[in-house]
Structure 1
Amino acid sequence: MRVRLAQMNERFKRSRFFLPVAILVAGFMLAISESAYQGARGELTDLVSMGQARLQLMSIVQRVTDAETSQRGFILTGHTEYLEPYRHAASDTRRSLEMLRETYGLLGHHDAEAMRSQLDHDVQEKLGELADVLVSYERGDMEGTRAMILTGFGREQMERIRRGAKALYELENGKINRGLGSVFDTLLLNRIGVSALTAISLLMLIMFLRQSRELDRQRAAHAEALKGERDQLGIEVARRTRELTELARHLQTAREDERARLARDLHDELGATLTAAKLDVARMRPKLQGALPELMERLTHLTETLNSAIALKRRIIEDLRPSTLSNLGLGPALEILCRESAARLDAAIGAEIEAVRLSPDAQLTVFRVVQEALTNIAKYAAATRVTVRLCEDGEEALLSIRDNGIGFDPAAVSNTRHGLVGMRFRVEAERGRLTVQSAPGEGTLICARLPLAQALVAPAIPATPAADA
């Protein structure tokens, strides 16, 4: 049954005739209701008029009776006070007859018009008979007056008035009963219409509520599916982020290992070659000084060239793998780096370095960040003052490099600025975070925060042989 109702509901929703038919049915029911209202209103108006007609009939009979009673009292007693009720009753009767004529004219009861006319004639005749008796009495013709009263003509007139009023009264009662039946039928029709509209409204409400619940269920299912997809996407993003972080750490480690291997090769092989060449020149100097003194200038130049090559090798080895970091620690290595960079930048570099608890990899990260930052300052900043600060801040190590250079807009930095990107990846690979604050003309501040090591451990960076050959 529920399946069949659902199928019907679906057919109704998809049918293009559903809305026009619903509007047509609603209009039809409204038309029926309005027609029934107008019919009931007309019937009630006629019922009120017929009720007034019945009251006027009763008033006519009562007033004619009052007029006759008042006339008889005056004739029997001779007291003039009996005439006042007679006059009022007569005038009220004529007024009631006029109102009854107007009422029947509004009602349009043609079948009762003859009866009303006859009643009007009988009442006028009765009032005339009463007036004739009074005229005879006022002339002093007591025998004539008595004879007129005893004839029984007035009694017959009164009986005709009562029969005419009763007939009209019964006619109006029948019409009132039929009008009430019509009103009740109209009310029943309205009741059926209201019940039908109520049932249709309830049906539409039930369908709407079911549709709303179904829509809410679909929305909830869709939201749940979206949440599941979002959670799955979040898990996938976290997994990819971990993989990229591990890859970046692996590449960074491989890069540092390759640098260390290259530094060792330069120290071992190139250093040995240059040292051997320098020793050979030293052995040749005493022999050539006496035999070929003209070659001493060349020999001296060769010695200087070898010394320059050894110094270049030493700088390359230091750039590839700083021996100061391995041999002296992070603080002295940063101070030496700042001192050497100050000469190259021709700028004042202030170093505020405190001892911090960092793992060997984190120490190398801090050194490389400072090295890259100073390189960027030399290339782009045109700064005259640089401050490098390293300290512990709670459970983190805080590194800041501030310069008074030309600055830049961090939001407008293109993806080609790999220096900042490389620093950020280095710091994040050590579970830290890096921020850059800058504005055109206001210098630049680079801050890196790295977690502190749980305990001081011996540096694990493999020592590079001293390049002092």
Structure 2
Amino acid sequence: MPEFNRRYILLSVLVSIALIAAAFFALELGRSKAMTYVQDSQRSLERVQLVVEIQSLLARAESGQRDYIFIGDKSYLESYDHTKLGIADYLTKVRSVYGLPANAAIQPLATKLDELAATKLSELDATIALHHQDTQQAIALMRTHAAQRTMDLLQGVAAQMRSREEALLFATNDAWARANKVNRAISTAGVLLNICLILLAGYLVYRDMQRRTTLATDLEEQVKRQTRDLSALSTHLQRISETERSSLARELHDELGGLLVAIKMDLSQLRTKVDLQQPDIKKRWDHVQTLLSSG
């Protein structure tokens, strides 16, 4: 594989790993922010619930006080006293929750709510005490506008607190929605870029495989071509060798034939000068003639 292809594939892998890590970090950060927004929303809803419970308990206390004064049944007074304890618990929670720095903007309203609730309970207690002295005066006091004014003020403060909490809740939900959009955009971009890098790496690998296949085919063709060339060269050399051998054999045959003819001619001339009647010479002469004839 060419060096630049290796670098590109390695770079694609490293970038993919980096993008996966970045996407994981972004998703984790987004998840953390989303959890923070959810927790903020839950706390805001809990604070609204506290305010609603205080309003509900004050209305119940007022109803219990009225029933006790009009009917005179002490069970209503016991219910009133029990409701007062619940109101005290919820007011303690309100002071604790709105005393945090994060809720400093609404803390003045919470203080006002606490004061008005205490004032309302004092008014209810005073009316019950007056009932023990003069029921008619207590009933007359309950029917005055002054008896309802504190409750109206408390309802107004509670409405402002709920409005503030709802605004915070909407802002938190908007921030959560924006964070989710950003996270989805980052995730989508990361996935698309990873797909592009994977496709690029696959394309480079495919090109390298094609190159290797082409190279293997070329090498195979080259081997076949060299094999054919070597075979042709071997055949040619063998043919030349046979031709040379045949030519050499003919030359040797011709030269040896000429020598034999010359020797025979010399022997013919020598025969007239040699006494072939002697057994030993005759034997040697016949042996030479036999050798010349066989050659």
CA distance in 2: counterparts of 1:232 and 1:175, whole angstroms:
79
CA distance in 2: counterparts of 1:221 and 1:29, whole angstroms:
35
Give the match for residue 237 of structure 1. Answer: 227
Q: Which has the higher contact order (CA 8 A, sep 6+)?
A: 2
CA RMSD in angstroms comes to 4.4
Q: Is the 8 A contact 1:274 1:306 kept in 2?
A: no
Partner residue of 1:71 out of 65, 75, 86: 65
1:414-429 residue pairs with structure 2 within 5 A?
none
CA distance in 1: counterparts of 2:76 and 2:244, whole angstroms:
141
Q: Is the 8 A contact 1:281 1:303 kept in 2?
A: no
| Structure 2 counterpart SS, 1:66 | helix
Partner residue of 1:112 out of 92, 106, 116: 106
Judging changes above 3 Å, is the alpha-carbon distance between structure 1 residues 96 and 284 closer, same or farther for their aligned structure 2 residues?
same
| Structure 1 counterpart SS, 2:105 | helix
State whether structure 2 residue 256 is matched by structure 1 residue 262: no
Q: Is the 8 A contact 2:69 2:135 kept in 1?
A: no
By how many angstroms is 1:267 displaced?
Answer: 5.9
Give the match for residue 294 of structure 2. Answer: 468
Q: Is the 8 A contact 1:50 1:172 kept in 2?
A: yes
| Structure 2 counterpart SS, 1:285 | coil
| Structure 2 counterpart SS, 1:111 | coil
- The Cα offsets for residues 260-289 of structure 1, whole Å up to 9 and x where unpaired, read as 653575467437736974993996231xx4
Partner residue of 2:275 out of 284, 290, 300: 284
State whether structure 2 residue 96 is matched by structure 1 residue 102: yes
By how many angstroms is 1:59 displaced?
Answer: 0.9
Give the match for residue 288 of structure 2. Answer: 306
State whether structure 2 residue 125 is matched by structure 1 residue 161: no
Which runs of 5 or more structure 1 residues have no equivalent in the other structure? 1-9, 290-295, 314-466
CA distance in 2: counterparts of 1:59 and 1:243, whole angstroms:
109
Using the size of structure 2 for normalisation, the TM-score is 0.73
Judging changes above 3 Å, is the alpha-carbon distance between structure 1 residues 104 and 300 closer, same or farther for their aligned structure 2 residues?
farther
* Larger relative helix fraction: 2
CA distance in 1: counterparts of 2:98 and 2:73, whole angstroms:
39
- One-letter identity of the residue aligned with 2:168: K
Using the size of structure 1 for normalisation, the TM-score is 0.49
1:8-23 residue pairs with structure 2 within 5 A?
none
By how many angstroms is 1:304 displaced?
Answer: 8.5
Q: Is the 8 A contact 2:16 2:194 kept in 1?
A: no
- The Cα offsets for residues 192-238 of structure 1, whole Å up to 9 and x where unpaired, read as 434544554455456x16xx536634653564365245424423431
Q: Is the 8 A contact 2:68 2:77 kept in 1?
A: yes
Which runs of 5 or more structure 2 residues have no equivalent in the other structure? none
- Percent identity (aligned): 17
CA distance in 2: counterparts of 1:74 and 1:182, whole angstroms:
50
Give the match for residue 39 of structure 2. Answer: 45
By how many angstroms is 1:94 displaced?
Answer: 1.8
Give the match for residue 142 of structure 2. Answer: 149
CA distance in 2: counterparts of 1:111 and 1:282, whole angstroms:
159
CA distance in 2: counterparts of 1:224 and 1:217, whole angstroms:
10
Give the match for residue 318 of structure 1. Answer: none
Judging changes above 3 Å, is the alpha-carbon distance between structure 1 residues 215 and 145 closer, same or farther for their aligned structure 2 residues?
closer
Partner residue of 1:190 out of 183, 187, 190: 183
Q: Is the 8 A contact 2:127 2:142 kept in 1?
A: yes
